[in-house]
Structure 1
Amino acid sequence: MRWSYNLERSRSVAAWLFVVAALVVAMVLVGGATRLTGSGLSITQWRPVTGVLPPLGAQAWQAEFARYQAIPQYRLLNVGMTLKQFKFIYGWEWTHRLLGRLVGLVFFVPLVVFLFLKKIPRRLVWRCWLLLALGGLQGLIGWWMVASGLEARVYVAPERLATHLGLALAIYALAVWTGWEAWTGRPRGGDHYSPPSWIGWGTALVGLVFLQMLLGGLVAGNHAGLVYNDWPMMNGRFVPAAYAARGSEGHGLWATLVHSQAAVQFDHRMTAYLVVVVVVALGLTIVAARNAPSMLKTLALVLIGVVTMQLLLGIATLMAGAPLWLSLIHQLWAVVLLTSALGLVWRMRRS
């Protein structure tokens, strides 16, 4: 059966993009688990093709283990680790890289088919090419991140971790937004109810949530969730005494903002409060508007509920000392928050 070419929309294309977005979320979560288990440096080589298979046989495992034993993380943190323990951390990193390859495959093969069949709406083709380019760039940034921890550090550089996370979130957001566009087609004509100020604040909110997630990446990269585990104070102070103290990379503004445990956690906290204030203010404004579409009001209320839950999850994760399971839930709910904010802005532009 020959597929029809619809210039306006294609729900099969939308479904494909939603699957890709879901795989990106899975990769972000596995990446978070990889970081929390200290597994990210267990694979010391970048082999895009041959690396799809794990070591096969005892000799191959010993060779892989020997390469890991040569890097600072093993010598300074994990000396004496057994081969069984190494296989555990290797499994996390291998799964993360395998998911990356799977995302690329699931995106590229249908892309070729849809382009050949002229199934992708023409106005969305460039976005699909952009997604492909960003996906390739993500692989390079992933290795750039890992390489930072192979010679002089025991963990990857936090700023590179945040960059890797940020690009993954950008790919996710673009895939979801393009999927919505492919599902619904072009906006219908008529009066546009949402005031420009709402769209402006909504767009700013999406940017703020994105920034907050990058700050979360810095917290993770600096292991800052393992310190200052009281709330609402930080060791009894609102602003921690060590905010501008020497960070892991020395003194200076950059070292403070990116490498100081006190600074990155404080900034993450303050930005969280700002996100809540903006969400509540914008959401209540929309709900109180007499002529706002019911769908927009519903999305605003959902967003308020999502941000409230995320705030509670963040506090619980901090005070519990960032256990793996709770940290991953907090990370997943951050994606839900980003999606909710994106959905609100997308609906505003179509109201």
Structure 2
Amino acid sequence: MTRAAGRANGAIVSSPLRLDLDGDALAANWRTLAARGGSAACGAAVKADGYGLGAAGVVARLWEAGCRDFFVSNWAEAAALLALAPGSVAVLHGVRDEDMAQALAGAVRPVLSTPAQVKRWRDGGGGACDVMVDTGMNRLGLSAAQAASGLLDGLAITTLMSHLACADEPDHPLNPQQRDAFRAVAAAVPAQRYSLANSAGIMLGPDYAFDLTRPGLGLYGGVPTSDAAGLIRRVVTPAAEVLQVRDVSAGASVGYGATWDAPRPSRVAIVNLGYADGIVRGLGPSLRFAGGLPAIGRVSMDLIAIDVTDGDVGAGDWLALDFGLPALAAASGLSQYELLTGLGDRFERRWV
């Protein structure tokens, strides 16, 4: 049973809104990013429930495509993934005292990022681990000095990694600074492999790939840099069922605040979709549905109005939303990441 589907008295209850997810496009995006990384292995960030698509479906399709390295944010996500990914799984947020029993019991590796986490893992008898080093982002990670101080001596480090702060700006001077800083740390800290590049970092070229890349956004149809625009395929298409089609006379308003007035006698479709589903109010003026049909008025919690005067639409029809991530991000001020991970649980997720 997919997310947003349930049971009532034994019968499956369907949702009036869905995400159509293109599994072929997901796999193709992974292969494209893997090829751009040259000889480096290509993993996948599947945190936030596979960027909102559903980690189970994502991992199954990426595994079939050849992906063997998966990254989640915390141990709850790792527990949900264990049965799905028999390959390599790493927890990016490290290990707390509360996580140690789970971490020591399974094959999932913590990504250690503080001296306290290193001590906790060592004192607890932990085995293979990954380590995050900060090279200029000033988020998670040991400093370069800490990493080279002997703090990590004796640890079985599978992957030493860092994270680029400005990879989506290819000309930003911090990119080569971080690359060179990471090279210096890698020369001083033994590990089985080294990893720096996310989706945007992959697009910076082979100097950033090292041994393992960790794409996220680009897998799911996000376009990390302008150079990727013709390479990445769209994965997610939201669709909603039409509840009602109504006739609106010229000059009459639609929706909260009466922000849209009909310029002519119009037909307006009302669909099961709104900001409770992640289609936030700021997206309203830029939303287009199948055939270019525009959203009108304000997006409300559960409903969006669409001008279907020029379309053949009736109650019970399904209308697909044009979910081009770069264009919607530019129009709304939201990031492509927010648009993806904000898609709500009321959508039925269907792999097509």
TM over 0.5: no
TM normalised by structure 1 equals 0.22
TM normalised by structure 2 equals 0.22
Greater fraction of residues in strand: 2
Greater fraction of residues in helix: 1
